[in-house]
Amino acid sequence: MSKPRILAFGGSLRRDSFNRKLAAIAAEGAREAGAEVTLIELRDFPMPLFDQDLEAEIGKPAEARRLKELFLSHQGLLIASPEYNSGYSAALKNAIDWVSRGDSPDEPPISALSGKIAVIMATSPGGLGGLRGLIPLRMLLGNLGITVLPDQIAIPSAYTAFGPDGRLVDPKQEAKVKTLGAALATHLRKLAT
């Protein structure tokens, strides 16, 4: 049986993003549970804001096509989402908007997203750890046909929660994040049998 394939990323464009660090920890847990994980950074896929007129004029930008191919070739998603004003980031929404678009008249619009299984998590400098942003993110992903597993985590006080090595200072928090990644890998493996 082939290994489940998981795409992991943070929803921020920041170079030293806490959510990217969180995604990397969850990815580690998924790998330990037998998954093949591709860890990416959204900043490596620079795309204009989604604009249907632009799409009609020039088609899908190359970086959006490259990102869509990654979504198509993975069954699972590990998403660590920053909270911006009680919601998810514009960068994350823009990436999803471009990936959701069909490339031909006979391709359903959300074919690169529908049927995926996801785990979501967040970290933030605030006391709620990005929790408020996970609520609309869960709703968005569900509306796109993505099954979001019920367990999630929000890590508060991000400035002090991570050490200089990018690991979580609290070993219990670190273990919980890795468990989320492992749970996704296990779920995908069960679906494949």
Q: Domain segments of the chain: what residues?
A: 5-192
What confidence score (pLDDT) does residue 75 get? 97
Q: Report d(CA 158, CA 18) in Å as an integer.
A: 7
CATH architecture of 5-192: 3-Layer(aba) Sandwich (3.40)
Residues whose CB is less than 8 angstroms from the CB of residue 43 and which lie 6 or more positions away in sequence, other chains included: 13, 14, 15
Location of structure tokens 């942003």 = 133
**Cα Rg of the chain (Å, integer):** 16
pTM of the model: 0.96
What percent of the chain is helix, strand and coil (3-state, nearest 5)?
45, 15, 40
Calculate the dihedral angle through the C-alpha atoms of 13, 77, 69, 166, rounding to the nearest 10 degrees.
40
At residue 1, the pLDDT reads 57
Handedness of CA 102, 93, 6, 180 (dihedral sign): negative
- Average pLDDT per consecutive 10 residues, the chain (193 residues; last block may be shorter): 92 95 98 98 97 93 97 98 95 98 90 97 96 97 98 97 96 98 96 83
Res 108: pLDDT: 86
Please report the pLDDT score of residue 127 as a whole number: 94
Q: What is the pLDDT of residues 2-54, one digit of tens each?
A: 899 999 999 999 999 999 999 999 999 999 999 999 999 999 999 999 999 99
At 109 the pLDDT is: 82
